[in-house]
C-alpha cells in the first residue's frame, strides 16, 4: 500500500480508501467491522462515509453506516491513526434528512445540525475531511443529463461563500480539519478555490465518479486537480459493479446491488455492455483479474489520490485490496486508451 498527500494538507492517505455505504443494509454491523479490520490489515488508513448512508437512502437506515463505524471505533480504538471522512447531503426534498421534513440545504444552520449528528454517531470529536455530498445548486447528478450543461437553472441557491464560511467556522472550532467537495464540476471547484482567497477554507479534495466507462473527470477537472492539488477521491471505480461483467446482457445475480435495488440506470445506457466486454477481454488477454484490472487503472492515474473501494464480502474486499499489486504499464495503458477512443464514456 502506497500513501499520497491529500491536497495540500500534509495528511498522507492510503491509495485505497474503504467505502462503507453497504454497512447497514447489504452488510450487518459484524460484517462491517470485519471489513474495517481487513482493510486496516492491508494498510488502509482512510475511511469514507456519509450521513445519508447506507445505500439506497431510506429513512429507516439514515445514519446507519456512521453508527456501525462508530461502534467499531469504540471497540477497536486507534482513531488518531485514521483519516475519517464523511459528507453532508446537498439539496434534497427527502423528508428524513432534516427535522420536520424540512428541505435539506447547504445552509450554515443545517450543516451544523448534520455535522453534530455525524460526530455523535461516529463517536468522534472531529472529522479529518467533511465533504459536501453534492452541490446546493441544480446540476446533473449521478449520471442525469450526461455531461451537458446548457442553461442556468432558475432556482435559488445557497451561495458557496455562505456554505464554505460555516465550514471555516467549524475548522476553527476543531470539529473538522479539512473540507472536500463531491459530485462537483470544474466551475464549482474554481469557485470554491476563489472563495479561499477571501478567507474560506481551501478545499482539499473532490469525490467524483471515475472508472473505465466514465472518464469524464479527465475533461477539465483532471487538470484542475493536478495544478491546484485538489485530490480526486474516485468513487465507483468498478462502475457500480458493471465492470465486473456480472450484469452483462441483463443478468441479475442474486444478492447483487442492482438486483436488490434496481438503481443501476447510470450504467445501463447504450454502449455500456460492448465497452465492458472490450475491457473484460483485454484484462483476460493480459492475464489480469478483471476487477483488479479496473481498480488498478483508476489507482494508477496521476490525478487520483485515493481510490474508494467497496464490497459486500471479505472475498470481494480481498480482491480489491490486493489490486495494488497490479501495474498498468505504458503498453497496457495504450491498449486501454484504444478501447476508450472507440467507446468513450458510455456511462457519464
Catalytic residue among 3, 53, 210, 235: 53
Sign of torsion, CA 239 240 246 249?
A: negative
Residues 145 and 155: their CA atoms lie apart, in Å, by: 17
Known active-site residue 113: no
With beta carbons less than 8 A apart as the criterion, state whether 81 and 11 touch.
no
Taking Cα atoms as reference points, which of 273, 274, 244, 275 lies closest to residue 257? Answer: 244
Q: Which residue is it, cell 479490520?
A: 37
Distance, CA of 135 to chain centre: 14
Question: Would you list the DSSP string of 92-139?
Answer: B--TTSSGGGPPB---HHHHHHHHHHHHHHHT-S-EEEEEESS-SS--
With beta carbons less than 8 A apart as the criterion, state whether 72 and 36 touch.
yes
C-alpha cell at 196: 479561499
Residues tagged active-site: 53
Amino acid at each position: 500500500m502506497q500513501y499520497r498527500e491529500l491536497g495540500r494538507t500534509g495528511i498522507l492517505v492510503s491509495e485505497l480508501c474503504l467505502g462503507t455505504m453497504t454497512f447497514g443494509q447489504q452488510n450487518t454491523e459484524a460484517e462491517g467491522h470485519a471489513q474495517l479490520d481487513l482493510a486496516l490489515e492491508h494498510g488502509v488508513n482512510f475511511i469514507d462515509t456519509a450521513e445519508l448512508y447506507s445505500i439506497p437512502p431510506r429513512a429507516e437506515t439514515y445514519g446507519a453506516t456512521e453508527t456501525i463505524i462508530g461502534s467499531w471505533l469504540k471497540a477497536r480504538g486507534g482513531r488518531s491513526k485514521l483519516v475519517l471522512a464523511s459528507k453532508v447531503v446537498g439539496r434534497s426534498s427527502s423528508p428524513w434528512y432534516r427535522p420536520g421534513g424540512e428541505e435539506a440545504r447547504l445552509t450554515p444552520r443545517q450543516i451544523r445540525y448534520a455535522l453534530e449528528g455525524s460526530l455523535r454517531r461516529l463517536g468522534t470529536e472531529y472529522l479529518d475531511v467533511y465533504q459536501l455530498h453534492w452541490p446546493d445548486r441544480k446540476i446533473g447528478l449521478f449520471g442525469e443529463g450526461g455531461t451537458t450543461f446548457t442553461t442556468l437553472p432558475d432556482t435559488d441557491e445557497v451561495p458557496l461563500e455562505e456554505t464554505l464560511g460555516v465550514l471555516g467556522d467549524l475548522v476553527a472550532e476543531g470539529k473538522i480539519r479539512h473540507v472536500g467537495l463531491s459530485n462537483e464540476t470544474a466551475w464549482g471547484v474554481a469557485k470554491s478555490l476563489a472563495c479561499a482567497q477571501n478567507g474560506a477554507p481551501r478545499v482539499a479534495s473532490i469525490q467524483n465518479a471515475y472508472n473505465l466507462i466514465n472518464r469524464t473527470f479527465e475533461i477539465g477537472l483532471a487538470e484542475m486537480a493536478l495544478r491546484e492539488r485538489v485530490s480526486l477521491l474516485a468513487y465507483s471505480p468498478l462502475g457500480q459493479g458493471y465492470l465486473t461483467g456480472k450484469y452483462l446482457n441483463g443478468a441479475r445475480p442474486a444478492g447483487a446491488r442492482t438486483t436488490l435495488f434496481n438503481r443501476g440506470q447510470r450504467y445501463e445506457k447504450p454502449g455500456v455492455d460492448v465497452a465492458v466486454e472490450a475491457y473484460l477481454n483485454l484484462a483476460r488477454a493480459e492475464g489480469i483479474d478483471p476487477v483488479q484490472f479496473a481498480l488498478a487503472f483508476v489507482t494508477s492515474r496521476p490525478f487520483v489520490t485515493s481510490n474508494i473501494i467497496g464490497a459486500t464480502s471479505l472475498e470481494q474486499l480481498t480482491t480489491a485490496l490486493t489490486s495494488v499489486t497490479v501495474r498498468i504499464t505504458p503498453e497496457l495503458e495504450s491498449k486501454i486508451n484504444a478501447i476508450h477512443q472507440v467507446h468513450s464514456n458510455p456511462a457519464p
